[in-house]
């Protein structure tokens, strides 16, 4: 009988030494590990002295680092860090700048989740926010207080697609020695690079266009080394890190961003143009004149009062109702009852987010099929 070198239970775990030789994989492998090993205590101490890269996946992982660095590169920023979601990226970005007792001036037409985070959660931490229209920078300037530290807005707002004047925001911030944070999720780096325009921190809900396939939840913060370092510390200490596998999936999706955005933006422009002439559509929100291919893949419409909104959603055939955006399939959402549900009724009404407003995330299907699906739904819901 052959005698095993180790007992069976031990052999199950330690039968094969881990391969430490470099393997020239075409893409970064998935480092699906919670922690990394050390050969001796001096090597372990070396990590804490800045000589090693990885200790524990909450503090860093090759896959999460790759995602942060890749988005930073296409934004033209020196540094980037990945997070567990878009909202955790916003939290880390904000906390990189402000502390308890500080004040933020934010756009009043932000994504509803961002609005709630600033108004409710950060308020409990002693961080106050004043919401004003960034369409009028005189109002923004009037809202600045002695303890204001940050101006916060979106490059294209959600859901009414107002394009922010980033140059003017940057100039105002410099005048008052403030930092700036911009959520660039809707525009994506394909259409807009806020950091190159002088914005200090740029946020992405990588769940959306960065990943692009509706199969991950992730976020990214990019900017200068110092502020991203502050954001990274918050992510580590608050446990807001993204898992290695989700980071790997998001990095894989990022590689096709240009292809997807070219097609989706083209389709969005075609749909917006067609619906603009439909008598049953009261208003179409789309940034038509920013670039030749349009400015993003989102179209928001306000249907006329003679449209039964429930019947409209029921009549959309293959277009699904989804409370998010940016996958390769065309989807719709109802901002009043989903993304902006947290807004006070009076705030939604003031912005024009009514029950008739529909947000469309345009996919990569043939544009004529997309147009036909919406025209049929409109026709079927007239009463």
- The residues annotated with a catalytic role in the active site are 58, 111, 183, 208
Q: Which distant-in-sequence residues (6+ apart) come within 8 Å of 253 by Cβ? A: 210, 211, 212, 213, 216
CA 353 to chain centre: 21
- Which DSSP string do the residues of 62-79 spell out, in sequence order? HHHHHHHHHHHHHHT-SE
Cβ proximity of 128 and 82 under 8 Å: no
Residue 358 to residues 59, 112, 334: CA-CA distances in angstroms? 40, 15, 5
Query: What phi and psi values does residue 363 have, to the nearest 5 degrees?
Result: -100, -160
Question: What does the block give as tokens for 121?
Answer: 């959660």
Cβ proximity of 242 and 83 under 8 Å: yes
Q: How far apart are CA 169 and CA 166, in angstroms?
A: 5
């Amino acid at each position: 009988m052959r005698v095993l070198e180790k007992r069976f239970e031990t052999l199950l775990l330690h039968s094969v030494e881990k391969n430490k030789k470099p393997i020239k994989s075409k893409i970064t492998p998935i480092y699906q590990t919670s922690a990394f090993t050390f050969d001796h205590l001096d090597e372990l101490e070396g990590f804490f002295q800045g000589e090693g890269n990885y200790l524990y996946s909450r503090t860093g992982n090759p896959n999460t680092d790759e995602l942060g660095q890749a988005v930073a590169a296409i934004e033209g920023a020196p540094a980037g860090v990945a997070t567990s979601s878009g909202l955790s990226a916003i939290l880390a970005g904000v906390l990189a700048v402000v502390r308890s007792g500080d004040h933020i001036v934010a756009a009043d037409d932000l994504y509803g989740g961002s609005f709630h985070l600033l108004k409710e959660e950060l308020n409990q931490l002693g961080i106050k926010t004043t919401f004003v229209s960034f369409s009028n920078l005189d109002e923004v300037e009037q809202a600045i207080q002695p303890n204001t530290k940050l101006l916060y807005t979106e490059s294209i707002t959600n859901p009414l697609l107002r394009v922010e004047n980033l140059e003017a925001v940057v100039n105002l911030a410099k005048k008052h020695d403030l930092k700036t944070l911009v959520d660039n999720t809707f525009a994506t780096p394909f259409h807009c690079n806020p950091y190159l325009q002088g914005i200090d921190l740029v946020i992405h809900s990588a769940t959306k266009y960065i990943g692009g396939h509706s199969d991950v939840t992730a976020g990214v913060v990019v900017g200068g080394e110092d502020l991203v370092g502050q954001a990274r510390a918050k992510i580590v200490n608050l446990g807001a890190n993204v898992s290695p596998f989700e980071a790997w999936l998001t990095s894989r999706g990022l590689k096709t961003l240009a292809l997807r955005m070219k097609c989706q933006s083209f389709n969005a422009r075609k749909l917006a143009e067609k619906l603009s002439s439909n008598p049953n559509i009261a208003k179409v929100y789309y940034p038509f004149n920013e670039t030749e291919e349009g400015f993003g893949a989102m179209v928001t419409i306000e249907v006329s009062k003679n449209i039964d909104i429930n019947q409209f959603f029921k009549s959309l055939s293959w277009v699904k109702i989804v409370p998010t955006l940016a996958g390769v399939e065309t989807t719709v959402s109802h901002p009043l009852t989903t993304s902006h549900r947290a807004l006070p009724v009076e705030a939604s009404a003031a912005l024009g987010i009514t029950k008739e407003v529909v947000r469309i995330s345009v996919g990569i299907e043939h544009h004529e099929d997309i147009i036909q699906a919406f025209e049929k739904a409109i026709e079927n819901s007239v009463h």
